[in-house]
Amino acid sequence: MIRTEGLCKSYSHYSRHEVRALYDVHVTISKNSFVVLNGPSGSGKTTLLNIIGTLDRPTAGKVFLYGEEITTFSDIALARLRREKIGFIFQDFHLIPRLTSWENVSYPLIPSGIGFRERFERAKFLLEKMELGDRLDHTPEELSGGQQQRVAIARALINNPGIIIADEPTSNIDEDTSTRVLELLTELKSRGVTILVTTHDFHFEKIADVVYKMKNGRIEC
Ligand SMILES: Nc1ncnc2c1ncn2[C@@H]1O[C@H](COP(=O)(O)OP(=O)(O)O)[C@@H](O)[C@H]1O
Ligand SMILES: [Mg+2]
């Protein structure tokens, strides 16, 4: 489902030394597995997730998603793949400030030309599932962190992605919502979704199929 070969990533700055964030990373993640990636801050977790999730490109190496080498795709092809096949959940939610909950959730449907009524119904369905049926018309600033993260999860699910990538999804939310996020991810796995999550929360590690540890840009085990 997800495979990387010899992935390297360097960040270079004009006046400073280059930072090597990933060294020769090989991972294989089978379909429908729940994979946790942990490791200290700065070890390269976000960089790896962003490259696997097509938000960033490697300096060297290859990424295969759904059996295809995506490293050669154009930016437009990657944007489409990302929108249709991958759901993202970020640590700081990444909601669009002036849009309401349902507008945020249905936003990824706009490029597919889906009409207003269907967009609204699909967003409403997911927000009700997230117990936010009474917050459809609220903007992010009117919601708590835990509620914003549930809106972000609904948005990640709107295109029924086969892969969910979550970067420290519970570090900015309360414990009850964290438990709910874990339940939701577990439920998605039971429906066949492949899950890749970075977290320091041991509850996630307990239910993971695989735990990878990163250190200094490498996978340790
Ligand atoms: N956009 C960037 N420009 C320069 N250096 C970066 C950038 N993003 C990350 N880095 C560096 O790459 C390394 C890995 O960062 P990151 O992937 O964010 O680690 P983690 O998510 O494990 O905390 C760090 O040394 C970080 O400073
Ligand atoms: Mg990170």
pLDDT band of residue 17 (cuts 50, 70, 90) is: confident
15 pLDDT higher than 70: no
pTM for the whole structure: 0.94
- pLDDT over 70, % of the chain: 99
How far is residue 11's CA from residue 145's CA, in Å, rounded to a whole number? 31
Q: State whether the beta carbon of 106 lies less than 6 angstroms from ligand 1.
A: no
What is the residue-averaged pLDDT of the chain? 95
pLDDT per residue over 203-217, tens digit each?
Answer: 999 999 999 999 999
| Closest residue by CA, ligand 1 atom 4 | 11
HSE toward the beta carbon, residue 70, CA cutoff 13 A: 27
Domain boundaries, the chain: 2-219
Q: State whether the beta carbon of 116 lies less than 6 angstroms from ligand 1.
A: no
pLDDT per residue over 144-171, tens digit each?
Answer: 999 999 999 999 999 999 999 999 999 9
| Closest residue by CA, ligand 1 atom 25 | 42
Class of domain 2-219: alpha beta
Confidence at residue 39, expressed as pLDDT on a 0 to 100 scale: 95
Distance 41 CA to ligand 1 centre (A): 9
Rounded to 5, what percent of the chain is helix, strand, coil? Answer: 40, 25, 35
Distance 46 CA to ligand 1 centre (A): 7
pLDDT per residue over 97-128, tens digit each?
Answer: 999 999 999 999 999 999 999 999 999 999 99
Out of 36, 46, 198, 219, mutate this one to test ligand 1's pocket (max ligand atoms within 8 Å of CB): namely 46
pLDDT per residue over 55-84, tens digit each?
Answer: 999 999 999 999 999 999 999 999 999 999
Distance 37 CA to ligand 2 centre (A): 10
